[in-house]
Amino acid sequence: MDFNSLLVSIVKIVAIVAYFYGLMWVLGRTAKWLKIVGVIVAFGIIQLAFTQFGTFKLLNDFDQGLLFQATAMTMVALGLNLIYGFNGQFSLGQYGFYGIGAYVSADITYRWTNGSANGLFVVGFGVILTGAVFYGISRLLRKYQGIPVMSSFALYLIGIIIVGALAAYLGNLLNPVFAPLLGTNLKPGPISQGVWLQLVFFLSVIFGGIFAAEISFVFGLPVLSLGSDYFGIATLGFTIVVNTLMNNSDTILHFTEMKGGRGMIGIPKLTTWFWAFLFLIAIIIVMRNLIQSSTGRTILSVREDETAAKAMGVDVASTKLMAFVVGSLFAGIGGGIYAHFSGFLAPSTFDFLPGFNPLIIVVFGGLGSMSGTIAASYGWYFFLEGFLRVTLSKLGTDAPSWRYVLYPIALLLVMLLRPQGLLGSIEWGFLRTKKILPRLRRETTVAVPSNSASGTGD
């Protein structure tokens, strides 16, 4: 074993964990100016590590790749921690929504850079109109009690089909207007590059995440009524179905640019540390504020005891569905970041076997610990996918596959020696739950009138 490489990997892991500890500490300060300055400095540190000074670069290209992949995986794992760690719903479908977000986001920018605005408009109109239809149907269903879950599911499904047809019509209608401004891949137009392309990339990641969230809403509506174990089996089946559709995307779905099992190539590499850092910080802030709100307490109550939560007036079904949708949204956003870093999407990347990665990360870091998930995600990539994979590759071409034997062994040891995870319930700085002081009761004093005031004398 190369002990120098091992030592370097450990130093990098400690440095990146300390980096995020410092970032969470800064975000936990009360002064807003300190938070802003801290975030800018945190962004600048990594950006500076990417910069090459002569022949020296603190983070080489391989390390940069690990950092971007770990950042995307952190988003996926945080979403799973919300579903499983905080809400108690065992899910194996997170990689399916990760893949949905990746392919949807990549298809939008791929078409845009190849002279078609169809992807952006179809998906954009689709997710916006679907959200409006979902809201209208939910308002309608509240007026009627006792409607079966499958009837509600059928109603939502009909709404999706109608909205999909309408979005496709609007996208095809507007595409000729923008086609002359987009140009072609060989001769780009004025809006197919520069700031416009960055804006489209931003929208593609957002739309990819929302698209994954809306799919999770429809899928979770009937499935979340199952028990936790059966729900896990159903989500595993969902991941397999999504992976099968990816392998046949050019035939069954007629998306020829995705090329099915051969993999989608030509995706513009638009992910920079600015975008990865921005989306990661946004997800951390949203999830932290959600967990520490009254809604977050209902999420935790469902995990602790569904019967007691229902007795206290918590809508258990809606709470489960909300956590599942938000967690899938995070996974879809992570998929968009990964797709535009890699530039290539293969269905094997989102197979059910790699789909266990976020689950292992969440268990390693600690169920219900955002800090543990962040630390475990980066430690996972820099040690297991970085050092271990490179070290095993020196032993032979098939040796790297042995890491799939070492992963469950490491997971088993953690479950035996520290079942609460590496960090357990420990949170850092900004992520730490605020202490709620008990309300002090004011002692009321009753004024007793004196003899003189009452008009009596001795």
Find the CATH number of the domain harbouring 53.
1.10.3470
The answer to whether residue 9 is domain-embedded is: yes
Which pLDDT score, from 0 to 100, does residue 383 have?
82
What is the mean predicted confidence (pLDDT) over 408-414? 81
Length of the chain as a residue count: 458
The answer to whether residue 54 is domain-embedded is: yes
By CB atoms closer than 10 A (0-12, 13-18, 19+), residue 339 is: buried
Q: Which helix (H) or strand (E) holds 52?
A: strand 52-53
The model's pLDDT over 204-219, given as tens digits with 9 standing for 90+, comes to: 999 999 999 999 999 9
The answer to whether residue 407 is domain-embedded is: yes
More confident residue, 61 or 324: 324
The answer to whether 173 touches 164, Cβ cutoff 8 Å, is: no
Least confident of 191-205, 293-307, 374-388, 394-408: 394-408
pLDDT band at 279 (very low <50, low <70, confident <90, very high): very high
List phi, psi (to 5°) of 449.
Answer: -65, 140
What is the mean predicted confidence (pLDDT) over 422-445? 71
Nearest to 139 by CA among 125, 154, 124, 152: 152
The answer to whether 187 touches 125, Cβ cutoff 8 Å, is: no
Contacting residues for 296 by C-beta, under 8 A, at least 6 apart: 86, 290
pLDDT band at 397 (very low <50, low <70, confident <90, very high): low
What is the percent of the chain where pLDDT is above 70? 91
**Spatial distance between the Cα atoms of 425 and 434, rounded to a whole number of angstroms:** 14
pLDDT band at 439 (very low <50, low <70, confident <90, very high): low
Is the pLDDT at 270 greater than 50? The verdict is: yes
The answer to whether residue 138 is domain-embedded is: no
**Spatial distance between the Cα atoms of 338 and 279, rounded to a whole number of angstroms:** 12
Nearest to 349 by CA among 415, 264, 284, 409: 264
- Pair of tokens at residue 192: 């197919």
Which pLDDT score, from 0 to 100, does residue 406 have?
75
How open is the CA angle 355-359-361, to the nearest 5 degrees? 110
Which pLDDT score, from 0 to 100, does residue 453 have?
47
Indicate the SS3 state at residue 256.
Answer: helix
What is the percent of the chain where pLDDT is above 90? 49
Output the CA–CA distances (angstroms, integers) from residue 5 to 9, 10, 56, 390, 416, in the order listed. Answer: 6, 9, 17, 10, 29
The model's pLDDT over 125-173, given as tens digits with 9 standing for 90+, comes to: 999 999 999 999 998 888 887 788 888 889 999 999 999 999 999 998 9
Which pLDDT score, from 0 to 100, does residue 450 have?
54
The answer to whether residue 15 is domain-embedded is: yes
The answer to whether residue 167 is domain-embedded is: no
pLDDT band at 458 (very low <50, low <70, confident <90, very high): very low
Give the residue numbers spanning the domain of 208.
3-115+183-431
Output the CA–CA distances (angstroms, integers) from residue 8 to 5, 13, 382, 418, in the order listed. Answer: 5, 9, 10, 26
The answer to whether residue 441 is domain-embedded is: no
Output the CA–CA distances (angstroms, integers) from residue 247 to 100, 258, 289, 344, 348, in the order listed. Answer: 13, 9, 38, 14, 9
The one-character DSSP state at 345 is: B
- Pair of tokens at residue 55: 């022949």
* Amino acid, single-letter form, for residue 356: F
**Spatial distance between the Cα atoms of 84 and 102, rounded to a whole number of angstroms:** 22
- Pair of tokens at residue 318: 């809606």
Which pLDDT score, from 0 to 100, does residue 457 have?
46
**Spatial distance between the Cα atoms of 111 and 113, rounded to a whole number of angstroms:** 6
Most distant CA pair in the chain, distance: 110
By CB atoms closer than 10 A (0-12, 13-18, 19+), residue 455 is: exposed
Is the pLDDT at 451 greater than 90? The verdict is: no
Output the CA–CA distances (angstroms, integers) from residue 305 to 86, 302, 327, 433, in the order listed. Answer: 12, 5, 21, 21
Total domain count, the chain: 1
Mean pLDDT estimate for the chain: 87
The answer to whether residue 140 is domain-embedded is: no
Q: Which helix (H) or strand (E) holds 77?
A: helix 61-80
What is the mean predicted confidence (pLDDT) over 343-368? 88
Least confident of 39-43, 315-319, 329-333: 315-319
| This prediction's pTM | 0.90
The answer to whether 365 touches 78, Cβ cutoff 8 Å, is: no
